[in-house]
Amino acid sequence: MRPILIDCDPGHDDALAILTAYAHKEELKILGVTTIGGNQTLEKVTENAKRILHFLDADIPLASGQAGPLVKSLHTAADAHGESGMDGPVFEEADYPLASDNAVVFLKEQIMACPGKVTIVAIGPLTNIALLLKVYPETKKKIDCISIMGGGISHGNSTELAEFNIYVDPEAAHIVFNAGIPIVMAGLDVTEKALITVQEIEALKKKGRVSRMAGELLSFYNESGRQYGFIDSPIHDLCAIAYLLEPDLFQGEYQAVDVITEEGRARGLTFADKRLMCDKIKNVFVLEQVERDRFAAMLIEALEKLDGRE
Ligand code: BDR
Ligand code: CA
């Protein structure tokens, strides 16, 4: 069983990533969930993480992290995720404990206490993870891989060149991408192909309790996605979990990727040096293609499995 830590900013797609990981108890052991200000304020995304974990009646330690980026101030993604950061379903009061309000220390403790290596799933801005690697460099040798949703080699979404998670905190992303730890990057190149259709969303709403809640999340997210030109919905963050569960769903390539932090048009760009003579280390496995039907089936089956546990 693979031990993982999920650093997130729920977020509709973050929630679906957590649900899918939780459904795969035999393959993934979730050591903890940590939150980071991103899609909404830290307070709101932490509340959303509580709502999901409470909804699942889970017993997974939750820690809140940094409220905003290392250098600049936070801008949220309320247009995509709503006022709460996870608009759609009505959740009951989330009576879920916070194990710590210092995610960086919490992550260090979880990693160092684990007998083997740990995988970090980073599906929000990379502030917590950058601080972890800077403050506790001894954790690096105990991290086998960081599975990131973020970036995009070919294009962005926050700007024409930069994807949201990287654009929020490019300085943190620069630290993480240059830390010498294997990175799998599910950027927009692949995540915008990882779609759930309107028909699939409608079908979820007729199933069990967990599928119905996911269907309501997805209905809101699908509607908000229209403003960006999406008919079906890209479930970005789920790619970072799906790759761990079924890597052969994806095709990708090792590339030499760096993060542009300079002010200007390219700030937050994950830049791949593709020159044939480039002698930089190919530090990132960049996912490029996904089998859409199998990806959607993974989500739908995970939700059914959780329905069945009720
Ligand atoms: C990423 O930004 C957030 O809005 C999503 O949760 C995802 O992590 C997509 O650009
Ligand atoms: Ca996210």
pLDDT at 232 over 80: yes
pLDDT at 190 over 80: yes
Q: How far away, in angstroms, is 307 Cα from ligand 2 center?
A: 24
Q: How far apart are CA 80 and CA 39, in angstroms?
A: 8
Read off the tokens for 47.
Answer: 């509340």
- pLDDT (average), residues 133-139: 98
- pLDDT (average), residues 144-173: 98
State the residue range of the domain holding 280. 2-309
Q: How much is the pLDDT for 94?
A: 87
Q: How far apart are CA 50 and CA 101, in angstroms?
A: 13
| Alpha helices (runs of H) in the chain, residue ranges in sequence order | 12-23, 42-55, 78-81, 103-113, 127-135, 164-168, 170-177, 188-191, 198-204, 209-225, 238-245, 292-308
Q: How much is the pLDDT for 92?
A: 86
Q: How much is the pLDDT for 309?
A: 80
Q: How far away, in angstroms, is 9 Cα from ligand 1 center?
A: 8
pLDDT at 223 over 90: yes
Q: How much is the pLDDT for 23?
A: 98
Q: Are 256 and 281 in contact (CB under 8 A)?
A: yes
Helix (H, G, I), strand (E, B) or coil at 277: coil
- pLDDT (average), residues 145-152: 98
**Least confident interval from 60-64, 257-261, 286-290, 306-310:** 306-310
Q: How much is the pLDDT for 93?
A: 84
Looking at ligand 1, which residue's alpha carbon is closest to its atom 2?
A: 164
- pLDDT (average), residues 26-52: 98
Q: How much is the pLDDT for 26?
A: 95
Catalytic residues, by residue number, are: 236
Looking at ligand 1, which residue's alpha carbon is closest to its atom 4?
A: 39
Helix (H, G, I), strand (E, B) or coil at 103: helix
Q: What percent of the chain has pLDDT over 70?
A: 100
Among the atoms of ligand 1, which is closest to the Cα of residue 77?
4
CATH number of the structural domain spanning residue 296? 3.90.245.10
Q: What percent of the chain has pLDDT over 90?
A: 96
Instruction: List Cα–Cα distances, 45 to 9, 58, 82, 205, 219, in angstroms.
Output: 5, 17, 11, 24, 19
Q: List the one residue out of 77, 82, 287, 258 whose CA is nearest residue 165.
A: 77
What domain count does the chain have?
A: 1
Q: How far apart are CA 310 and CA 305, in angstroms?
A: 9
pLDDT at 222 over 80: yes
Residues 6+ apart with CB under 8 A from 208: 303, 304, 306, 307, 308, 310
